[in-house]
Every structure is written in C-alpha cells, then in structure tokens.
Chains A and B, each alone.
Chain A
Amino acid sequence: MASRALACQTLHELRDLIQQDPTAAEHLLEELLDRIAQLNGRLHAYLAEPDRKRLRQQVREQLKACPNGKLRGIPITVKDNICIQGEETTCASRILQGFRSPYDATVIERLRREGAVLMPRANMDEFAFGSSTENSAFGPTRNPWATDRVPGGSSGGSAAAVAADLAIGALGSDTGGSIRQPASFCGIVGMKPTYGRVSRYGLVAFASSLDQIGPLTKDVTDAAILLSVIAGHDARDSTSAPVEVPDYVSQLNTSVKGLRIGLPKLPEEGLDHEVNDSLAEAVKAFERLGCQTTSVELRQIDKAIATYYIIATAEASSNLARYDGVQYGYRAVGSGLGVEGSGQAQSPEPRTQNALLDMYLTTRTSGFGDEPKRRILLGTYVLSHGYYDAYYLKGMKVRTLIKQDFDEAFKRCDLVVMPTAPSPAFRLGEKIDDPLQMYLSDIYTISANLAGVPAVSIPCGLSKAGLPIGMQLLTAPFREDLLLRAAYAYEQATDWHRRQPGL
C-alpha cells in the first residue's frame, strides 16, 4: 500500500491513516500541493494558487485543535460561493472581486470544527449559473477525463478537483443539478441533500427556494462522512429543518434487499444511448442485490425546465440586486466616484445626469457576465408588472404539481432511478452560444430541486470515448440515509468508482 499515493486515496482511508499517524496529513498536503502545481494550470479547478505556508500551518493547527475530528487533517475545497471568513468569495464573478467575507458560512464552521483543512476556492459558473463552468469570469475548468471537455457545472471546479485528486473532498451547491451533473461528468459521487437538511447560511444565494449545499467525493462512504458533518438544523437559516440527522456512515452496510426501485418514464429526446444502456445495466445490478423494480409516473417532469427557469431566475434577479457597487466588491472605475474599485473596467462617459444611476448601470453592466445578465433579465421580466401571474405564479403552481408527483411516487417506491445527465461530458464551447440547449441538459436533475427531495449521482459506467456516466438516485425528503445505503450497495457491487482519469 505504501506505494499508493496518499492523494489518490479516499477520505475514509486517509482519516484512518491520519488517526494512526498524524504526520500522514502533512505528507498528504505536500502531495496535493505538488499535484496542484502540476495539474491546475491545465484544469483550472482551483481559482487561486495555494498559499503553501498558510496551508501547512492550517494542517498543524487542525491536527492539534481537533484530535477527534471526523475530518482531521483532510484537505477539502469549497466552491467559491460559500463564505469563508477573511477569504475572498467571488462566485467566480468580477462583481464580487475583492469581497472578503467577514464571516464563516455555517458549513465552514462545521468543517473547521471537525478538523478539515480548507484548500483554495473551487472554480464555478458565475453565480452558479451554468452547467459547464464555462461561465466563470476567471476562465473555464476542464474535465480531468478529457481536457477538451467540460467538467459540468456549476460546481465544476469542485468536481474536477476531487476527480483529479487535487482535493480529498469538496463542497458544492446544487440549485438545478450543479453538484450531481458535474459529479456525473467527472466520475465521482455528488449529493444534493433534502432542501433544509444543510444550512444555507453563508451560501451566496442563487435561488433561495432551490439551493442546497452538498458533498462531492470519491466514493459513497466519503459522501456519508461529509454529509454527516454539514447536515443539521441551524437557527440562522429560517428554512433549515429541525429534523434529526441519523448516523449515515454506520448504516451504509444495511442490506438493500426488498427496496423498491421506481423507474419513471422520461422524456427521451436527447438521451444518449450509452447513458441509457449504462442505466439499464445499473438497474439490473440493483435487481441482483434483491431490489424490486416498479414503474412510477412523474407526469409533469417535462415541465420541470420551464418551471425552473421561471422560479430560479426570478429569485436570482432579486438575490443579485445587491451587487451594485455600493457596499462591497466591485465598483466600476470612473462611474460616479469611488475610483478605488478593484476592477479594471473602464466606463464610458456618464450617460445620465444622475451619477448614482450611472454608477449602478456601469458597475452591473461591466461586473456581470452574459449568463447572469440573461438570468437577471429573465427573472426581472417574469416578476414585473403584468407578467407575474402568467409566469411566476404559474410556475409556483406547476411546482406544486411536480412536488405532488414525487409525493405520489414515493408512496409506491423507496427510490427513483434515472440518469443524472442526458449525455457524458460535452466539449468546451459546444453549447455556450445556445443558452436554451444548455438549460435543456438539466432535464433530469432539476425536478429534485423543485420538489426539494434529496438526490445523489454515482458513477455507473464509462462511454466508449472513456467518459464517465452517472446514475441518479432520488428519494423522499430527509431519507439521505436510504439514498446512501442504496448507493453504497451498488458501489460495493461494481467498480466504476475506482476508475481514474488518465491524467
């Protein structure tokens, strides 16, 4: 075993190693730093160069401070939309450049308490708007399995870092598939917990009623460990559920025999046949494990994308109104006053008599990329006078129907199985000019957010081109335990999770 690099091991293996020999944590960090130096230039999973000195110090401090921590000495990377005190949190947007959060997100407090080492920030689509990480204002992340392909998104940096062994685990956020889809594209495990399971306090809001933070890890056990650290009620989040958190890890080995697996009829347009085949194989594997399959109906699932793009953009347009150059982050140079702004954009001459309005317009126009602008406009439009009922209200009503579909389905089955994404990772640039096509690729992930149910993506195959394929499991609210058990049983019965990208 000594020959197997530490960086390539799983979180639970490393946890056990560090338990026996804390210096392993220091060796692990050095390995990761070397790999980052070697690979991040190509992958751009991390937004910033690691500060070696501070990281070494962090390892020493955490080893000392958290002798019994579940994540003692484990390097974790955090998506750039989760606030870390004293660190820049930009959401991969120019408009937040220079914003150093004066507070820790709840999940960060919990990571720190369990001894985690916080690596540099993971790249993402700007404000989590996207499915490819091409919308990062600071350049795209590339897929470790094929660097001409996208890692998925929006948590593409998190997924690529874990898949390429540049971090041992990662946190991402999932509003419409932003953890599961990149996990699927990068051949790792990614989970979106039940809405309310993990505190959103400190997660920069995209769509408040849909957002959840979740883990991206090398295997299911790691996901169970990371989830057990971040899950649980938080008084600072009014939408956080006061529901007890079970011991996910100890239950992993419980048999899945007799579990009922629901197979929905899905819109097949655009579904890659290799994905379809892998999924069929996976379902057979579940049957071999003693699960029963049954068909379930998710009648409104084909309406999920339209519903999602109304609700998510409406909330986003409101959540992003605060980025205006007044209080923090970027103020466009030359707009009104406040030339001290940290960005570089040169504003044209003021076009109105009102310097304040001009500052708003210039800051927001030059601070946001194209995709945030598109979504802000769409969201503003659907909420504006005269359109609210036709769009937003309608969307909220269809959302009710989608949720009812899931409520009904989970009366008939324990888990629903479907693909995570219609295809394996696509090429950089392939969909960037066609926003609607990009949105449509979220077809299988979006409804879990609308219904608030938990879902996990796990590796279930490789395409002929050698690209990972992901399977998605969904279950009833707060039954992450069931999700993890089923995923674990499948993982034990297969070896897809052991495949490594040939970097």
Chain B
Amino acid sequence: MAVVTPEVVKQVAMLARLRLEGKALTQLAAQLDEILQYVQQLQAVDTQRVEPTSHVLPLTNVLRKDEPTPSLSQDAVVALAPAAQPPFVKVPKVIEV
C-alpha cells in the first residue's frame, strides 16, 4: 500500500513552493513512496524510553556579547538582489495585506 499519494505530494510541494505536475509528479510520488516505505522500518525500533537527539554535542548556553559588528553596505545588499530599486530589494507585489 502506498504511503504517499500524488495528491499528498502535490500539497507538500506547495508547502515547499515547488510546482509539480503530470509525469514529474507521478514519478516523484512513486520515488518518495519507495523511500518512505523503506523508512518505515524505524517503526520496529523500540524507542519508548529514548530521548531524541537534536545535537550530538553536549554544548549549552552559547552566547555572544551585545556588541556591534560591522554591517554590509546598502550597495552590497542591493547588489546581491536579482531585482532591486535601491535602496530596496524588489519583489512582485505582496497582495495579502
């Protein structure tokens, strides 16, 4: 039985801002399904009393002083952008608000 359907993959693609359709969608959905099937084997591992690891190093409380460091110039920031109207970075109109 499939773990993921093309419909689900399409929704996930939207979350990730990828456009998937047609053959590309069915092919990727099939590949993802195969990988997810493989990953199911973890369900067999008993982890009831196991804490999750998100960091392998036991480091804590890494902090920096509230001291300024140099910023980039406006020109440098604007120069990076594919589209700009100095001193701003330009994007297609955001309609939401």
0/1 per residue, A129-141, Cβ < 8 Å to B? 0000000000000
Assembled-state Cα–Cα distance A303/B43 (Å): 10
Q: Which of A316-337 contact B (CB under 8 A)?
A: 317, 321, 324-331, 335-337
Contact of A355 among B34, B53, B92 (CB under 8 A): B92
Chain B residue, CB-CB nearest to A402 = B53
Any chain B CB within 8 A of the CB of A73? no
- Measured between beta carbons, the chain A residues less than 8 angstroms from B91 are 326, 336, 338, 356, 359
Chain A minimum-CB-distance residue to B83: A338
Contacts of B38 in A (CB 8 A): 305-306, 436
Choice from B4, B80, B94 contacting A356 with Cβ under 8 Å: B94
Which stretch from A28-36, A142-150, A162-170, A390-398 is at the chain B interface? A390-398
Q: Is A340 an interface residue (CB 8 A)?
A: yes
Kindly report which residue of chain B lies nearest to residue A372, judged by CB atoms.
B18
**8 Å CB interface, A413-443 against B:** 435-436, 439
**A interface residues, tally (CB under 8 Å):** 77
B52→A384 contact, CB < 8 A: no
Contact A391 B39 (CB under 8 A): yes
Of B13, B35, B45, B82, which one neighbours A436 at CB under 8 angstroms? B35
Given contacts A239-B55, A336-B91, A399-B52, contact A380 B15 (CB under 8 A): yes
- Whether A400 lies near B50 (C-beta < 8 A) is yes
Residue numbers in A under 8 Å from B18 (CB-CB) = 361, 364-365, 368, 373, 376-377
Do residues B41 and A380 form an inter-chain contact, with CB atoms below 8 A? no
Q: Are B47 and A394 in contact (CB under 8 A)?
A: yes
Describe A's contact surface by its main secondary structure.
helix
Complex Cα distance, B84 from A326, in Å, reads: 9
B37 to A: closest C-beta gap in Å: 9
In the complex, which residues of chain B have a beta carbon less than 8 angstroms from the beta carbon of A307? 42
Q: Which residue of A lies closest to B82 (CB)?
A: A331
**Which B residues touch A439, using CB under 8 A?**
35
Chain A nearest CB, measured from B4 CB (Å): 7
Most buried by A among B8, B42, B50, B89: B42
Q: Are A209 and B55 touching (Cβ within 8 A)?
A: yes
Which of A351, A397, A452 is B57 in contact with, Cβ under 8 Å? A452
B69: nearest residue on chain A (CB-CB)?
A: A236
Q: Once the chains bind, are A238 and B56 in contact (CB under 8 Å)?
A: no
Decide: A374 and B57 in contact? CB cutoff 8 A.
no
Q: A102-B76, A401-B47 are in contact. Are A338 and B90 (CB under 8 A)?
A: yes
Contact between B16 and A377, CB atoms less than 8 A apart: yes
B57, A102: Cβ atoms under 8 Å? no
Does A300 make an interface contact (CB < 8 A)? Answer: yes
- Bin chain B's interface residue count: 35 or more
- CB-CB under 8 A from A241, the residues of chain B are 57, 59
Interface residue? A341 (CB, 8 A): yes
Contact A336 B92 (CB under 8 A): yes
Give Cα A380–Cα B19 distance, bound, in whole angstroms. 14
In the complex the two chains form, is B17's CB within 8 Å of A327's CB? no
**A358 part of interface (Cβ distance < 8 Å):** yes
Q: Flag if A337 contacts B90 (CB, 8 Å).
A: yes
Residues of B within 8 A of A292 (CB): none
Given A209, A306, A341, A451, which contacts B39 in the complex, CB threshold below 8 Å?
Answer: A306
**What's the Cα separation between A300 and B50 when bound, in Å?**
14
- Docked complex Cα distance between A400 and B46 (Å): 12
Q: Does B2 lie at the interface of the complex (its beta carbon under 8 Å from any beta carbon of A)?
A: no
Docked CA distance A359–B76 (Å): 23
Q: Which residues of B contact A317 (CB under 8 A)?
A: 16
Known contacts A359-B92, A384-B15; A300/B32 CB under 8 A: no
Q: Cβ of A376 and Cβ of B16 under 8 Å apart?
A: yes
- In the assembled complex, the CB of B96 is this many whole angstroms from the nearest CB of chain A, namely 8
A327, B80: Cβ atoms closer than 8 Å: yes
| Residue contact A303 to B42, C-beta cutoff 8 Å | yes
> Could you tell me if A400 and B19 are in contact, using CB atoms closer than 8 angstroms?
no
Q: Is the CB of A403 within 8 A of B90?
A: no
Chain A residues near B52 (CB-CB < 8 A): 393, 396-397, 399-400
- Contact between B56 and A451, CB atoms less than 8 A apart: yes
Q: Are A398 and B81 in contact (CB under 8 A)?
A: no
B residues apposed to A, CB below 8 Å:
4, 8-9, 12-13, 15-20, 28, 31-32, 34-36, 38-39, 41-43, 45, 47, 50-57, 59, 62, 64, 72, 76, 80-83, 89-95
User: Would you list 14 pairs from A and B whose C-beta atoms are within 8 A, ordered by A residue?
Assistant: A196-B57, A300-B45, A303-B41, A356-B92, A356-B94, A373-B20, A374-B28, A377-B9, A380-B15, A381-B32, A384-B12, A390-B43, A450-B56, A452-B57
Interface residues of A (CB under 8 A from B): 98-100, 102, 195-196, 209, 235, 238-239, 241, 300, 303, 305-307, 309-310, 317, 321, 324-331, 335-342, 351, 353-362, 364-365, 368, 373-374, 376-378, 380-381, 384, 390-391, 393-401, 403, 435-436, 439, 450-452, 477
